[in-house]
Chains A and B, each alone.
Chain A
Amino acid sequence: MHIPDGFIDVQTSAIFAGLAAAGVATALKGARTQLDEKTAPLAGLTAVFIFAVQMLNFPVAAGTSGHLLGGALAAVLVGPWAATLALAVVLIMQGFLFADGGLTAIGLNVFNMGVIGVWAGYGIFLVLRKILPKNKSSISLAAAIGGLLSVPAAAVGFTIQYAMGATATFSVSTVLGAMVGTHILIGIGEAFITGLTVSAVLASRSDLVYGWKNNVQKLEIRSAH
């Protein structure tokens, strides 16, 4: 999913660099009010974990692999604002240090994975959380399905960029079909990793999980300690 230099022309890359920068600036504002000294370390750990797991490409279909994007996972763990920032840090490290994702394409990549992936995943999570019973398994399931659909959503993001400024001339609908089809398969892996990780953190430190505590905090009486 990391777009290299050259796929998308410079003008379109610049537009998305602007959009990504606006997204990050808004996220900085939002995260400032959302995070506190207790939850900030989890945001850091989330970025670290996403970096690590993005190295683990898993096979999906013949000759194709995929890896976690992590937008839905991060949004459920630390909230959507901090999630965008965590993804931006990971993508910038990858682009500059590991030559993964083109440097002129950083805006495209931050927009697809750090804005679309995060908000698509989080939006679906919120809808499912409302419908499902109020327990921890529902939170993990909602996160998993958010993760599943966030991957094709990010693939649609690429297709929009391709439609606006591809340097190649293949039809947009061909690209759309192939991108969405392949990324639904990758989304299944995303769903597993997201669901398992959220349930592991819920089992060990549910008090830190954004998508859980801002749902039940008002209903639950906790012993202070």
Chain B
Amino acid sequence: MLTNRKFYLSGLVVSLFLAGVISFYASSSPDGLEKVANDIGFIQTAKEHSNSKGTLADYGVKGIQNERASVGVAGVIGVVGTAIVAGLGFRLLARKPKKDRN
């Protein structure tokens, strides 16, 4: 049994490592849906993403030329952002109404 602190810290470190370092080695082949759309022929019906020029579009940071750093920093931003949104959200959701004080 790990303590809370150790458990959540290791979970966060593993996530940061996967998104920040290992993501560079991910396969860049089309994913299942893209491949199917390509093979069958409906890939042309896809529209460009309305945010395709965004700072973090396609998991890269605009302005960082080095590909390894670009995807790594994007991954770290995603992990931290998700941690803030989901961490706070679930905490608020789980808060039980207090019976007056004490």
**Considering the complex, which residues of chain A in the window 160-187 have a beta carbon less than 8 Å from any beta carbon of chain B?**
166-168, 170, 174-175, 178-179, 182-183, 185-186
Q: A7-B46, A66-B31, A182-B32 are in contact. Are A90 and B40 (CB under 8 A)?
A: no
Q: How far is the CA of A36 from the CA of B94 in the complex (A)?
A: 5
Prevailing SS type, chain A contact patch: helix
Interface size of A as a range: 35 or more
Q: How far is the CA of A32 from the CA of B41 in the complex (A)?
A: 44
Contact A204 B1 (CB under 8 A): yes
Contact A89 B85 (CB under 8 A): yes
Q: How far is the CA of A172 from the CA of B31 in the complex (A)?
A: 20
**Complex interface bits, A42-55 against B, C-beta within 8 A gives 1, otherwise 0:** 01111111011101
CB distance from A111 to the nearest CB of B (A): 14
Report the nearest A residue to B44, measured CB to CB: A168
Interface size of B as a range: 35 or more
Contact A57 B26 (CB under 8 A): yes
Among A93-101, A115-123, A128-136, the stretch that binds chain B is A93-101
Report the nearest A residue to B74, measured CB to CB: A98
Contact B45 A168 (CB under 8 A): yes
A205 at interface (Cβ–Cβ under 8 A)? yes
A35 at interface (Cβ–Cβ under 8 A)? yes
Contact B29 A103 (CB under 8 A): no
CB distance from A33 to the nearest CB of B (A): 10
Q: How far is the CA of A174 from the CA of B40 in the complex (A)?
A: 8
Q: A4-B46, A52-B18 are in contact. Are A35 and B93 (CB under 8 A)?
A: yes
Give 4 closest A-B pairs by Cβ, nearest first: A168-B42, A6-B47, A47-B86, A40-B94
Query: Which A residues have a C-beta under 8 Å from some C-beta of B?
Result: 1-7, 28, 31-32, 35-37, 39-41, 43-49, 51-53, 55-60, 63-67, 82, 85-86, 89-90, 93-100, 102-103, 155, 158, 166-168, 170, 174-175, 178-179, 182-183, 185-186, 204-205, 207-208
